[in-house]
Amino acid sequence: MASRPLALDRDFISSRNRKAARELGADCKYLARTLKRKGIEFEAMLEGVRAFTVAVPSWGVRTGGTRFGSFPVPGQPRDLFEKLDDAAVVNQLTAAAPRVSLHIPWDKTDDPAAVRKHARSLGLGFDAMNSNTFEDQPGQERSYKFGSLAHVDAAVRDQAVALNLETIAIGRALGAKALTIWIGDGANFPGQAALGPSFERCLDSLRRIYRGLPRDWRLFLEYKPFEPAFYYTVLADWGSALMASLEIGERCAVLVDLGHHLPGTNIEAIVARLIRAGKLGGFHLNDNHYADDDLTAGSIQPYRLFRVFHELVLAGANPKKNFRPAYMIDQSHNVKDPIEALIQTTMEMQNLWARALLVDRERLAEYQRLNDALGAEMELKDAFNTDVRPLTAMARVRGDAAAAPLATYRASGYRSAKARERG
């Protein structure tokens, strides 16, 4: 397929930026002055924000499903090429979403070279590949109804391992460098699955996949406490995922999906422990009120995500550690326009990352040393309550993206143009 030009007209974006330039300049000046009083350099923060990027999930540019149905928006992408077009819009407007995370077999392609070429023409690359052995595909030989990598039947495990190896092969052709595995294997009823042997079978399958992993790739193990299995899940928690990743090998690490925790779990503490173990591989960013709600990241519990980011900023501040977790969005869009939701998410990530950068880490450590709980908490709150929106808007403008991405997207008419084109 011939490559199309960038989705949005660059001149359109810059002309809108020019109109907002005077106000943005004034807001930045004011923020720079207030930050300077705290000894923080605006320009240094700007660079910190510009360095933060997330990957867009290919499944996030179409409306997802609830258990009760799915309600498509007009002009949804019909194939992988169109999914990339929509993902490029998010990056063009935010300068913070330059990679896409694919799901195989949902995004299975016979022509990865053409897909890669198209992505490159849009300024996109590929982040971790995701393998799907949690549902059956039409024509599939063996069913995953009772599991995949941990299935009691070796033939089903072989099929699931083969799908992962195929996912690696596609990812390799696309230039990806990581594979994320999430499996729904488990049991709905006590006695249904043998707890010990099912974990061993899972480990055995993971070892086979790891043997097929290219040297410069990483393998991420994603845990989740329940759903689709409601009584027992083979990789239910960070303990199981960490244990598995330690056994599998050096390039195997844990992936934290924010929605994969029971209410009240202290996720930032898990993050700190995984960092200590050198086993924090990546994130699936989203938000939730109950469990795996897959809502817009930062929409329900922004302070929680800020606290997670604070731990990540702390870890990243040590240049010796070569700390580079993969940040990916993993959301299901049901009531919002998917592109708008992804733009909003990316902006929210930029804002929360900027606020985490504002924490005075030395002063915080001093409060902690003095057991000054209030001082320490206020250090975090002070950063969290700072309105960094002019800073992140300026970071986008410097990256040739939009000062106001959502308004620019709505004014561009992209969705209605796609509705006409794609039907």
Q: Which residues bind ligand PSV (CB under 6 A)?
A: 59, 130, 182, 222, 224, 257, 284, 292, 330
* Angle in degrees, 0-180, between the axes of helices 195-211 and 154-174, rounded to the nearest 10: 40
Nearer to ligand PSV, 7 or 129 (CB): 129
Report if residue 284 touches Mn ion, rule: CB under 5 A.
Answer: yes
CA terminus-to-terminus distance, the chain? 19
Which of the choices Mn ion, ligand PSV, none does residue 130 contact, using the CB cut-off of 5 to 8 A by kind?
Answer: ligand PSV
Which of the choices Mn ion, ligand PSV, none does residue 292 contact, using the CB cut-off of 5 to 8 A by kind?
Answer: ligand PSV
> What whole-number distance in Å separates Cα of residue 136 and Cα of residue 335?
26
- Each residue 39-68 as x (binds Mn ion by CB under 5 A) or -, in order, gives ------------------------------
The answer to whether the beta carbons of residues 404 and 16 sit under 8 Å apart is yes
Q: How far is the CB of 236 from ligand PSV (least distance, A)?
A: 13
Q: How far is the CB of 11 from ligand PSV (least distance, A)?
A: 37
DSSP string, 306-343: HHHHHHHHHHHT-GGG---PEEEE---BSSS-HHHHHH
Torsion 273-196-180-209 (CA) sign: positive
Nearer to ligand PSV, 342 or 364 (CB): 342
Q: How far is the CB of 275 from ligand PSV (least distance, A)?
A: 21
> What whole-number distance in Å separates Cα of residue 150 and Cα of residue 147?
6
> What whole-number distance in Å separates Cα of residue 155 and Cα of residue 316?
43
DSSP string, 1-34: -PPPPPSS-HHHHHHHHHHHHHHHHHHHHHHHHH
Q: How far is the CB of 331 from ligand PSV (least distance, A)?
A: 9
- Each residue 68-107 as x (binds Mn ion by CB under 5 A) or -, in order, gives ----------------------------------------
> What whole-number distance in Å separates Cα of residue 219 and Cα of residue 248?
9
Which of the choices ligand PSV, Mn ion, none does residue 348 contact, using the CB cut-off of 5 to 8 A by kind?
Answer: none
Nearer to ligand PSV, 94 or 130 (CB): 130
Which of the choices ligand PSV, Mn ion, none does residue 340 contact, using the CB cut-off of 5 to 8 A by kind?
Answer: none
Report if residue 261 touches Mn ion, rule: CB under 5 A.
Answer: no
> What whole-number distance in Å separates Cα of residue 53 and Cα of residue 183?
26
Question: For tokens 């004011």, what's the residue?
Answer: 30
Nearer to Mn ion, 75 or 186 (CB): 186
User: Taking CB under 5 A as the criterion, which residues in 306-345 touch Mn ion?
Assistant: 330
> What whole-number distance in Å separates Cα of residue 73 and Cα of residue 64?
10
Nearer to ligand PSV, 304 or 418 (CB): 304
Q: How far is the CB of 57 from Mn ion (least distance, A)?
A: 9
Q: Which tokens belong to 336?
A: 């919002």
* Angle in degrees, 0-180, between the axes of helices 389-398 and 10-37, rounded to the nearest 10: 140
Q: How far is the CB of 68 from ligand PSV (least distance, A)?
A: 17
Nearer to Mn ion, 17 or 286 (CB): 286
Nearer to ligand PSV, 72 or 190 (CB): 72
Closest residue to ligand PSV: CB criterion: 182
> What whole-number distance in Å separates Cα of residue 53 and Cα of residue 216?
21
For β-strands 280-285 and 252-257, DSSP reports them as parallel
- Each residue 153-192 as x (binds Mn ion by CB under 5 A) or -, in order, gives ----------------------------------------
> What whole-number distance in Å separates Cα of residue 288 and Cα of residue 421?
34
- Each residue 241-260 as x (binds Mn ion by CB under 5 A) or -, in order, gives ----------------x---
> What whole-number distance in Å separates Cα of residue 411 and Cα of residue 38?
38
Which bin fits 378, alpha (ψ -120 to 50), beta or left (φ > 0)? Answer: alpha
Interface size with Mn ion, residues (CB under 5 A): 3
Question: For tokens 């190896």, what's the residue?
Answer: 165
Q: How far is the CB of 157 from ligand PSV (least distance, A)?
A: 19
Chain residues in the site for Mn ion (CB under 5 A):
257, 284, 330
